[in-house]
Amino acid sequence: MSETPQASVATRIRPATSADLDALWQIESTVFADSAWSRVSLAEELAAEHRSYLVLETVPEDGTAPAVWGYGGVFVVGAVGDVQTIGLLSDARGAGNGRRLMEALIAAAATRGARELFLEVRADNPVAHALYVSLGFAEIGVRPRYYQPEGVDAIVMRAELKENR
Ligand SMILES: CC(C)(COP(=O)(O)OP(=O)(O)OC[C@H]1O[C@@H](n2cnc3c(N)ncnc32)[C@H](O)[C@@H]1OP(=O)(O)O)[C@@H](O)C(=O)NCCC(=O)NCCS
């Protein structure tokens, strides 16, 4: 993550709002390219019920504008939740930010009442898979050739959430 050399920065996670649409669309289209959600779908997700979308941003202490580096979302109905997405710009990866964001999403799902959480991960994404395993997700199935046109399998994973996680 690069910032101006003079400015020290803090990293924080906060709820996304509709005002974040431009920044999140930039991240979505950069990170997921051909498989990115449309801007309209992203706007609908941010506005929809039963969801918590969070952004990870750096906040320079010199008062200049925060910079959004990543975001993720969960969908919860009753006691069942689903991780809808998580993505960070490449300069923000590999420094614990993905773990922090996933932990915040899990906490948000638990606050909404989720007692179990599902997600899907591409079989060719060992970084995300390792993160999910480390957070207590276990493989429960495979959707063959789920991601098209590449024909990559989706691994379905599930975690049980503790009440005060
Ligand atoms: C997946 C993603 C959110 C992880 O965030 P991150 O900031 O890179 O990961 P972190 O630095 O928090 O590391 C968390 C764990 O991921 C795994 N990991 C991170 N970098 C890794 C690497 N280069 N190789 C293997 N595993 C890695 C490790 O298990 C790591 O835990 P550890 O540090 O205790 O070993 C991020 O890489 C990303 O946005 N990738 C592109 C989009 C994507 O794949 N989204 C997921 C779709 S299902």
Atom in ligand 1 nearest the alpha carbon of residue 96? 12
CA distance 127 to 116: 22
102 Cα nearest atom in ligand 1:
3
**CATH of the domain spanning 11-160:** 3.40.630.30
* Catalytic annotation, residues: 120, 132
Inter-axis angle of helices 126-134 and 97-111, to 10 degrees?
A: 50
Sequence spans of domains, the chain: 11-160
Question: How close is the Cα of 40 to the center of ligand 1, in Å?
Answer: 27
Three-state secondary-structure class, residue 81: strand
Structure letter (DSSP) for residue 115 = S
Q: Which residues contact 21 (CB under 8 A, 6 or more apart)?
A: 39, 42, 43, 46
Query: Could you tell me the pTM of the whole model?
Result: 0.95
Q: Mind listing the pLDDT tens digit of every residue in the chain (165 residues)?
A: 765 555 688 999 999 999 999 999 999 999 999 889 999 999 999 999 999 999 999 999 998 999 999 999 999 999 999 999 999 999 999 999 999 999 999 999 999 999 999 999 999 999 999 999 999 999 999 999 999 889 999 999 999 998 654
